[in-house]
Structure 1
Amino acid sequence: MYANFFLHTNIIVSVMHSEIHISIYLDTRRLKKNGKFPVKLRVFIPYPREQKFYPLSFEYTEAEFKEVWETKKPKKEYREDHIKLQATLSKANTIANALDVFTTSEFKNLFFSTKNINKKEISFYYNQYINRLKENNQISTASNYELSLKSLQAFYGKEEIPFQVITPIWLERYEKHMIEVKNLSQTTVGIYLRPLRAIFNTAIEEKSIKQDSYPFGKKKYVIPAPKAVKKALNKNTLSILYNSTPANIEQETAKDFWFFSYSCNGMNIKDIANLRVSNINGDSLTFKRAKTSRSNKSQLIQSIPLHDHALKVIAKYGNMSGKPDDYVFEIINKSQSAEVQHDKIKNFIRFVNQHIVKLAHANGIEEKLSTYWARHSFATNAIIAGASMEFVSEALQHSNLNTTRGYFAGFENEKKKEISIKLMDL
């Protein structure tokens, strides 16, 4: 893909492609206190015009840079630095060659985080996809992939894991280790291994590995997918919690937002945090789930009637006097990066979970509540009240009715009995 040759000029030696120039560059724009200039790696793309400078751990005067880099045969005292700079340039060229579609962001991620670029190793594909997710502001999914990679690397004992190492037997050993040694659940093992399965599929599609090396599926390794019991409160317990008196402002805020979620069709906190002024129209709101907005681009925007409680929460905490694009609640703001917003939302979820549990326990509710319970409590009680699976599926914005059926399958026996009694209440 790339032609490798050195072009000697006054300040650079380049590895060139028809559209990409990668150079060792002495940045004379900024003189350091020691009288030297920093050396950087320069990546230049003519169309569309873009250039990036990445700092290296070298600094020289202009005379020293000529002796180290521009001379074909550097003196003995400069020879080691010359070899190191050549290795840096070679590494940059290797990374550029490994990228099917070159972008400066993916190049940067791989240049600074990967020692050896090898498409036969899983970290290449993990890092490439993680960077793409971050570019799309899919921070939560990127975090899942990062956790998956770190877990696999910790088990293997090395950063680089060749695809050929990962066999059905290896995966069975990994699962046993995670459950028996790390005391993690099968659910967590599944969360860590589903990204790996996607990475294998990508590598096979790109013909980096062969199909017969795929370790997943029947008669091979099956990723655990235990059916969890859905966490939901019945109507009586919900009434106790709703009518409880918070002990402090933290519990009051947690209660308000927990029931805002419950009353808005189990709306999760991320979607609540992302509500804009334009989403609120009188006594109704419209939104599209952040979780599925990219994977399901044809997803309909849903309209939800606002319960009195939800309207009170908006009046109490919201900023409806702002511009249409402003956030309703001050959980995040537009000036923050996607990473900062992700952390802010996680912190707010942690805040709500921490204080709703304290409020619940103070009122005799022993369950360890979380925002997760609000969503499933809505689904459970909607079905108990006679709502159809189709209604609940639409309300929860599930892309597949089977996902909604899973809610019923996960109900505890007590809730199943309650639904059966409701069905015979003729």
Structure 2
Amino acid sequence: MDYNISIRLDKRRKKDTGLYPVKIRVYGKATTKEKWYSLNIDLTEKKFEEIWINPTNKNLRGENKELRLKLQAIENRANDEAKSLDVFDFKKFEYKLFRKTSDKNNVQYHFNLAIRKNIENNKISTSESFRYTLNSLANFSYEIKKCPIEKLKFQYIDIDWLKEYEKYMLTKGKSLTTVSIYTRTLRVIFNNAIEATDLNTEYYPFGKNKYKILRTKKVKKALNNKQLKTLFEAKPSNENEAKAKDFWFFSYACNGMNLKDIALLKNSDIKDDKFTYFRAKTFDKTSEKKEISIYLTDFTRKVISKYGTKDKKDFVFDIVDINDDHLVQYKKIKNFTRYINDHIKRIAKANKLPHEISTYWARHSFATNSIRKGTSMEFISEALNHSDLNVTKNYFAGFEDSTKKDFANTIMDF
């Protein structure tokens, strides 16, 4: 064993009551470090000696016997949790020890762990995805299985459970894409529990000859040249619509720049005739950070001039504030995106354009029209900040057939 665990009386500090705290001492042999964890039990030296060091049948009665059993249970559990670790680690040991024994197999507990971890890492959007999935599973578990989410164990979730959940979601009007997202998120939680050695792999319900997560082909929605011209020349009925149109086309003109990246763009990122930034969505997913360069045009300069902040030390646009924490930033960007989407839809409806248009369409419209203009796949891959060309090809595979047809007709135009 690379650790040593024992129950000790901490005589380093005597309390005002004349008692000493009883603690569990853990020594890591590899690190040669020790930690003492409080058990919220205080005893005299004599009482600790009677109960723990040299107990006799005479002394182990009533409260003394109960306390002895309690300390023994704590020591046994601490040893069991330490033994479950491949390599002893204080952080992992503490995580396992200081929780209810029922948390180990509890689905809600592991979801909450993932939510907290992502919030701590400032991944607010990802934490929300876990939260939405947990809420959906809670509704199904309670309504159909009559099991409150607090009592849902991993062992209850098998192939039949997942198929029933899939059917439940579809009858509720949820899309295949939503079912796929939620079940993939649940799979992450299963993997987390297995990695933490809280769950045996025999209970894993996904994979070959088990539950197959629905695979959906998401068609990339985009405006064609004629529709883009109509939208660009459309006359907004108010300032809100004008602002929505300006920011939609700013995204389009900046290689389909995500609205979050637009919100976080700083004046210091702008140098001469271009600006550079790192895409927030992929920044933490790759070890090699790719800086994206966008050259300014008359249109993008006009948008910056019209909506830019006066404080040149701050963000370019007044969407978030430099003093906002990540949670506040997330909420502001989410509200701003909803604002743009609501008003761009109104313009689209008034001009007989697709009503489902959103800021998401700007990125795909940029990619689609670049392809239609004969731009190489390599250029589009770099512009979209894809990790490699295969990602771009898969991205293109999701476009509508008309886009592929146009591309096929131009491929031999040398």
Asked if TM exceeds 0.5, the reply is yes
**Correspondence list, 1:209-220, <5 A:** 209-220=199-210
2:266 paired with 1:250: no
Corresponding residue to 1:164 among 155, 162, 180: 155
Is the partner of 1:369 in helix, strand or coil? coil
What's the CA shift for 1:232? 0.2
What's the CA shift for 1:221? 1.1
With 291-300 and 412-421 compared, the bigger mean Cα shift is at 412-421
With 313-322 and 129-138 compared, the bigger mean Cα shift is at 313-322
TM-superposition CA deviations, 1:226-271 (whole Å, max 9, x none): 1021100001110111111111110011011100100111011111
Specify the alignment match of 2:270 in structure 1: 280
Whether the 8 Å CA contact 1:283–1:311 is kept in 2: the answer is no
Is the partner of 2:182 in helix, strand or coil? helix
Q: In 2, Cα distance between the equivalents of 1:117 and 1:334?
A: 43
TM-superposition CA deviations, 1:363-383 (whole Å, max 9, x none): 221332100000110111111
2:35 paired with 1:19: yes
Q: In 2, Cα distance between the equivalents of 1:349 and 1:377?
A: 17
**Correspondence list, 1:56-205, <5 A:** 102=91, 117-157=102-142, 158=148, 159-180=150-171, 182-205=172-195
What's the CA shift for 1:15? 5.2
Whether the 8 Å CA contact 1:16–1:22 is kept in 2: the answer is yes
Corresponding residue to 2:250 among 247, 260, 264: 260
- Which amino acid in structure 2 is aligned with residue 348 of structure 1? F
Q: In 2, Cα distance between the equivalents of 1:401 and 1:117?
A: 47
What's the CA shift for 1:102? 4.3
Q: In 2, Cα distance between the equivalents of 1:349 and 1:378?
A: 18
What's the CA shift for 1:193? 1.6
Specify the alignment match of 1:50 in structure 2: none
For normalisation by structure 1, the TM-score amounts to 0.74
Is the partner of 1:147 in helix, strand or coil? helix
What's the CA shift for 1:22? 5.0
Whether the 8 Å CA contact 2:267–2:315 is kept in 1: the answer is yes
Q: In 2, Cα distance between the equivalents of 1:177 and 1:6?
A: 55
Q: In 2, Cα distance between the equivalents of 1:377 and 1:320?
A: 31
Whether the 8 Å CA contact 2:279–2:292 is kept in 1: the answer is no
2:357 paired with 1:363: no
Q: In 2, Cα distance between the equivalents of 1:188 and 1:101?
A: 39
TM-superposition CA deviations, 1:369-402 (whole Å, max 9, x none): 1000001101111111112222212211122433
2:221 paired with 1:231: yes
What's the CA shift for 1:16? 5.2
- Which amino acid in structure 1 is aligned with residue 15 of structure 2? T
Is the partner of 2:205 in helix, strand or coil? coil
Corresponding residue to 2:284 among 264, 269, 294: 294
Q: Relative to 1, partners in 2 of residues 1:316 and 1:144: Cα closer, same or farther, differing over 3 Å?
A: same
Whether the 8 Å CA contact 1:284–1:306 is kept in 2: the answer is yes
Unpaired runs of 5+ residues, structure 1, are: 26-85
Specify the alignment match of 2:65 in structure 1: none
What's the CA shift for 1:301? 0.8
TM-superposition CA deviations, 1:92-119 (whole Å, max 9, x none): x99xx7997649xx98xx99xx977521
- Which amino acid in structure 2 is aligned with residue 197 of structure 1? R
2:230 paired with 1:240: yes
**Correspondence list, 1:270-349, <5 A:** 270-319=260-309, 321-323=311-313, 326-349=314-337
Q: Relative to 1, partners in 2 of residues 1:345 and 1:3: Cα closer, same or farther, differing over 3 Å?
A: farther
What's the CA shift for 1:354? 0.2
Identity %: 45
- Which amino acid in structure 2 is aligned with residue 134 of structure 1? I
Q: In 2, Cα distance between the equivalents of 1:310 and 1:401?
A: 28
Q: Relative to 1, partners in 2 of residues 1:368 and 1:414: Cα closer, same or farther, differing over 3 Å?
A: same
TM-superposition CA deviations, 1:44-74 (whole Å, max 9, x none): xxxxxxxxxxxxxxxxxxxxxxxxxxxxxxx
Q: Relative to 1, partners in 2 of residues 1:391 and 1:155: Cα closer, same or farther, differing over 3 Å?
A: same
Q: In 2, Cα distance between the equivalents of 1:311 and 1:169?
A: 57
Specify the alignment match of 1:387 in structure 2: 375
Q: Relative to 1, partners in 2 of residues 1:411 and 1:19: Cα closer, same or farther, differing over 3 Å?
A: same
What's the CA shift for 1:206? 2.8
Specify the alignment match of 2:64 in structure 1: none
Name segments (4+ residues, structure 1) moved above 4 Å: 1-8, 11-18, 20-25, 97-103, 114-117
Specify the alignment match of 2:401 in structure 1: 413
Q: In 1, Cα distance between the equivalents of 2:328 and 2:130?
A: 18
Q: Relative to 1, partners in 2 of residues 1:5 and 1:320: Cα closer, same or farther, differing over 3 Å?
A: same
Unpaired runs of 5+ residues, structure 2, are: 26-33, 42-69, 143-147
Whether the 8 Å CA contact 1:118–1:124 is kept in 2: the answer is yes
